[in-house]
């Protein structure tokens, strides 16, 4: 949660901006971080065409959308992508959270041009293009389902799985070995690491991974850089620093060269 104890890592919920080499903008998820990103995009003014991808409909991944200022501007075009059947599903998620009595402005009243016609396939040899970025969805192991994304450009690969409980087996959740293949040799993986092994004694089945499970998976897949993500709302900056140290010890003990850090709000990573 935002506040003095999370000033360093930040307390907003999931929202990630990806900028291609040519400057095309894709946004994955519309958590509360989207509010600040919208203000930055307006201030920069460099692109007025934005492609959204969604991982799933849990609140922490949607609630920033009503506060995304470019959506209130006629000169912006927003295209929405997700897993299969995006055009009907994404529109209903966004419109539902803005209906009375939850919000005073309805989705239909927003001024931006909104396109809901992209069904992002998650078949291995197909992808959704955002300029030069190739974006591939894959199912994750999470309650009520959901997707992660792999983004490729020019031989580099970034994989993002913000909510994924490795090895649990939720309905339609892939096996751990499938994630090892999906993340194989990724230049960057940003992955759910919400719980300590101790937390997990009571949180098993809630949809999120432990630090140890995430680090072990990344090492096995030969990932180069691992960003720990989906920080527990009760974890302070100091707590998180301790967990990063725990992960780095585990990596050294395994004699791996994996570079591991906790993702912080506003962080910029170049591939």
CB neighbours of 13 closer than 8 A, spacing ≥ 6? 31, 32, 33, 60, 61, 63, 64
Q: Residues interacting with Zn ion, by CB under 5 A?
A: 58, 60, 163
Cβ distance to Zn ion smaller for residue 140 or 218? 140
Cβ distance to Zn ion smaller for residue 251 or 262? 262
| Closest distance of CB 207 from Zn ion, Å | 5
Exposure letters 57-72 (e unless 16+ CB within 10 A, then b): bbebbbbbbbbbbbbb
Cβ distance to Zn ion smaller for residue 30 or 133? 30
| Closest distance of CB 59 from Zn ion, Å | 8
Cβ distance to Zn ion smaller for residue 70 or 174? 174
| Closest distance of CB 60 from Zn ion, Å | 4
- Residue 80 near residue 114 (C-beta atoms within 8 A): yes
- Residue 143 near residue 115 (C-beta atoms within 8 A): no
Exposure letters 2-21 (e unless 16+ CB within 10 A, then b): eeeebeebbbbbbbbebeee
Cβ distance to Zn ion smaller for residue 60 or 216? 60
| Closest distance of CB 29 from Zn ion, Å | 8
Which residue number is nearest to Zn ion in terms of Cβ? 58
| Closest distance of CB 234 from Zn ion, Å | 15
């Amino acid at each position: 949660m935002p506040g003095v104890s999370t000033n360093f890592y930040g307390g907003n919920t999931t929202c990630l901006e990806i900028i291609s080499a040519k400057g095309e903008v894709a946004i994955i998820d519309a958590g509360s971080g989207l509010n600040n990103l919208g203000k930055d995009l307006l201030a920069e003014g460099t692109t007025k065409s934005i492609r959204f991808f969604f991982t799933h409909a849990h609140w922490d991944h949607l609630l920033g959308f009503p506060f995304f200022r470019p959506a209130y501007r006629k000169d912006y075009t927003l295209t929405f992508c997700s897993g299969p059947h995006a055009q009907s599903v994404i529109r209903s998620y966004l419109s539902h959270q803005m209906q009375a009595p939850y919000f005073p402005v309805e989705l239909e009243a927003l001024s931006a041009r909104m396109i809901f016609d992209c069904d992002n396939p998650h078949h291995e040899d197909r992808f959704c293009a955002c300029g030069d970025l190739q974006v591939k969805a894959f199912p994750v192991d999470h309650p009520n389902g959901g997707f992660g994304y792999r983004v490729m450009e020019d031989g580099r690969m970034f994989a993002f799985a913000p909510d994924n409980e490795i090895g649990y087996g939720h309905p339609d959740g892939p096996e751990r070995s499938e994630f090892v293949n999906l993340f194989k040799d990724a230049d960057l993986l940003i992955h759910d690491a919400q719980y300590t092994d101790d937390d997990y004694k009571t949180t098993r089945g809630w949809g999120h991974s432990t630090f140890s499970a995430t680090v072990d998976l990344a090492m096995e897949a030969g990932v180069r850089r691992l960003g720990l993500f989906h920080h527990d709302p009760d974890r302070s900056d100091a707590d998180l620093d301790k967990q990063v140290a725990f992960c780095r010890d585990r990596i050294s003990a395994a004699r791996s060269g994996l570079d591991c850090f906790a993702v912080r709000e506003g962080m910029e990573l170049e591939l």
